[in-house]
Amino acid sequence: MHVPPAYAPAPARLRAWIVAHPFAQVVTSGPAGPLATATPLVFETDDPGETRLVGHIARRNPQAATLAGPALAIFSGPDAYVSPRSYLGKPDLPTWNYVAVQARGPLTPLDDVADARAVLARAIHVMERRRRDPWSMAEADPARVAALSPHIRAFRLRIERVEGAMKLSQTKPPGERTNVIAALAADGAAEVAALMREEA
C-alpha cells in the first residue's frame, strides 16, 4: 500500500480503526485470479497485542475454496471528493480525502464445527457488547444454529503487516483545512468533516 508519510497514522490508530470498522473486503487468489468478499472481521481476543482476525463466508461462495494461503483484508472508512472550490487561497486541483487500512497475512480455514461456532460467537459478542441489552448466540435456537453451521466456512487471518492511510488534507494550512471541513459538511460528507476536525 502506498502511504505518503503525511498520511500515515500510528500503528495503534490502525488497530483501533479495524476494531471500530470491522467490515472488510477479504481478497484471496483462485485459479481464475483474485476473489473478494465483504464480511466482518474481528480480533480473535481482546488482547491489545492480538494479531489474529477471524471471520466467515458462505461455504457456497466460490472464494470459500481459496481460504488458505496469502490474503489481504481491506477496511475502508468514509471518503469524499474535495473540490478546488473548497480552497480560498491559491488555486488547487481536485483530490479525495479518505481512510483505508489493509491487513496482510496467511489465511487458515477453520473447518471444525466447534471452531466455526466459536468464530460466530466471538463476532456476535464483539458486535453486541456496545448495546444496552446484548444478545448472545446462547439465545439462538440450537436446531437453527446446527442447521446453518455447515453452510459457512470460518477462517483465521494472522496479520503479518498492517498499513493504512488517513488522507485528510494534512498538508494544507490550518485555514484551508477549516474551509475544506465546512465545504465537506455542506456537501453531505459529514463523516469525513468530523474526522478532519478530530485530526486538527
Q: From CA 186, how far away is CA 196, in angstroms rounded?
A: 14
If pLDDT is split at 50, 70 and 90, which confidence band does 23 have? very high
Q: In terms of residues, how long is the chain? A: 200
Number of H helices, E strands in the chain: 5, 8
Return the pLDDT at 199: 85
Closest CA to 163 of 41, 49, 15: 15
Question: Do the Cβ atoms of 79 and 73 come closer than 8 Å?
Answer: no
pLDDT value at residue 88: 87
- Three-state SS letters, 115-166: HHHHHHHHHHHHHHCCCCCCCCHHHCCHHHHHHHHHHEEEEEEECCEEEEEE
pLDDT in the model for residue 43: 98
- What is the DSSP-derived secondary structure letter of residue 189? -
Predicted confidence at residue 174, as pLDDT, reads 94
- Could you read off the pLDDT of 66-124 as tens digits, one per residue? 999 999 999 999 999 999 999 988 778 999 999 999 999 999 999 999 999 999 999 99
pLDDT of residue 32: 87
**pLDDT confidence of residue 89:** 80
- Answering whether pTM is above 0.95, one says no
Residue pair 70/106 in contact by the 8 Å Cβ criterion? yes
